[in-house]
Amino acid sequence: MRSTEATSGWYRFQLGDFTLTVVSDGPLPIAPATRGFIDVPDESVIQGLHDAFLPTDRLLLAQNALVVDTGHRRVLIDTGTGNSQQLNIRARVPQGGRLLAHMRDAGIDPASIDIVALTHPHFDHCWGLSADDGTRNFPNAQLAISEADLAFWTDETRMIPGRAGEPSPTAGAILNIRPYSDRLVMVRDGQDVVPGITALATPGHTIGHHAYRISSGGESLIHFGDVVHHHILLLRHPHWRIAFDTDGALAVETRQRLLDELATDRALAMGYHTPWPGLGHVARRGEAYEWVQVPILV
């Protein structure tokens, strides 16, 4: 399948009394596919993709932002890559930056977002917060971020270099987060961002990475952000290290703990990068796991 045409960039469903809308920012390619992993033989990556009938020259990841309308507050979890010319983002993610258009298609005015909650401030999660001229894309929103990630990714005295000539992730985070500096809310493990949305510390990919448990009317969903990037490779090989992890060993420990919990609890789960619209369950398969996508009926 060389090209696809989606009917829409959003998917809406109920979770208890909450209305949830997954909104796509567009696909994120990582090429070559082997670039995404460290200490993993190239042949293992390529064979794993081949066995799953996927392209072997690149990883193609979804980018699933999530709007949770609790009836009282509207919360957006992660913002996609944005459209910054200054950061030259379209060279890196040619089909990204669609979040705002897709939100409008879904009838969600960006000005109606009360809080943007980040899983972590990597480019594909926080560069959609602001425009190049310093205006907020979500003008009335507070920004919820962990203290550890805020300190790590916006430290001007320690600019983290970009990979392969790409802009510094520190510069990108600062450009996007600064317009919210008078409206920051700290995300803390076990605490609610708003009633019904609880932050869960899941460190490693970044030191302050958080997942979110969304609960309403006896139903719940665990949004695990980037604890799992690839729905095939990292469930078959939970111990593989991702090239973009701040602390690879801790990321593996966190992934193994979370996958074990999700499988044991038979929890409804969602990943930022799992196939559109990101919803599924984690099934145990011996020492490893399998991602079982929720069927979408239209």
Nearest distance, CB of residue 79 and Zn ion, angstroms: 11
Nearest distance, CB of residue 281 and Zn ion, angstroms: 21
Binding-site size for Zn ion (CB under 5 A) equals: 2
Give the residue with the Cβ less far from Zn ion, 36 or 196: 36
In the chain, what are the helix, strand and coil shares in percent, each to the nearest 5? 25, 30, 45
Give the residue with the Cβ less far from Zn ion, 124 or 149: 124
Q: CB-hemisphere CA count at 13 Å for 242? A: 24
Give the residue with the Cβ less far from Zn ion, 69 or 210: 210
Residues 195-234 that bind Zn ion (CB under 5 A): 226
Looking at 83-91, 117-125, 157-165, 256-264, which segment touches Zn ion (CB under 5 A)? 117-125
CA distance 160 to 162: 7
Interface with Zn ion (CB under 5 A), residue from 124, 170, 240, 255: 124
Give the residue with the Cβ less far from Zn ion, 196 or 271: 271
What's the token pair of residue 259? 């996958």
Nearest distance, CB of residue 255 and Zn ion, angstroms: 14
Nearest distance, CB of residue 272 and Zn ion, angstroms: 6
Question: Is residue 25 at the binding interface for Zn ion, with CB under 5 A as the rule?
Answer: no
Nearest distance, CB of residue 218 and Zn ion, angstroms: 30
Q: Which of 17, 13, 11 is nearest to 197 (CA)?
A: 17
CA distance 207 to 211: 12
CA distance 273 to 72: 28
Residues 6+ apart with CB under 8 A from 295: none
Count of H helices and E strands in the chain?
8, 18
Give contact residues for Zn ion (rule: CB under 5 A). 124, 226
